[in-house]
Amino acid sequence: ALLVALVVLGAPPAAGAELSGVFQYLAKGECSFINGTEKVRFVERHIYNRDQYLMFDSDVGHFVGFTTLGERNAKRWNSDPAIMEDRRTAVDRCRHNYEVICPFIVERRGER
């Protein structure tokens, strides 16, 4: 939040750094399915300016930070029971979405 506030307020760049004027933030959730819904994996990635700084992997069971900011966010989010419960149940949402969408994308047959 502090970084976003500094960017919005136009804080000067760090010594020697150039300010491009373009900032990109992406939060992406991915569901991976093996053999239907037999094995489901949920991965949530947080990316800032093409650098992944934070990730949640349902196989790991908690957030992992890859930068100083990511490590701080991972520590804060891993200690929040509501956030952790939501991310851990994301696999069930993936399963539900697969069952809803499957007839349209997997079982569909016929001419184009």
**Per-residue model confidence as pLDDT tens digits over 62-97:** 999 999 999 999 999 999 999 999 999 999 999 999
**Per-residue model confidence as pLDDT tens digits over 47-66:** 999 999 999 999 999 999 99
**pLDDT of 6 above 50:** no
> Residue 101: in which H helix or E strand, if any?
helix 90-105
Mean pLDDT of 22-43: 92
Annotated domain spans of the chain:
24-106
- Whole-model pTM: value is 0.72
Residue, of 92 and 15, whose pLDDT is higher? 92
Q: What pLDDT, on the 0 to 100 scale, is given for residue 19? A: 60
Q: CA torsion 75→14→27→32, rounded to 10°?
A: -80
Which residues fall within 8 angstroms of residue 54, CB to CB, at 6 or more apart?
A: 45, 46, 63, 64, 65, 66, 67, 69, 70, 73, 74
Q: Which two tokens stand for residue 33?
A: 């399915």
Residue, of 101 and 81, whose pLDDT is higher? 81
3-class DSSP state of 1: coil
Q: What pLDDT, on the 0 to 100 scale, is given for residue 13? A: 54
**pLDDT of 109 above 70:** no
What count of residues does the chain have? 112
Rounded Cα gap, residues 72 and 93, in angstroms: 27
Q: What pLDDT, on the 0 to 100 scale, is given for residue 94? A: 94
Q: What pLDDT, on the 0 to 100 scale, is given for residue 37? A: 85
> Can you say whether the dihedral through the CA atoms of 9, 70, 23, 18 is positive or negative?
positive
Q: Which CATH number fits domain 24-106: 3.40.50.720, 3.10.320.10, 3.10.129.10, 3.30.499.10?
A: 3.10.320.10
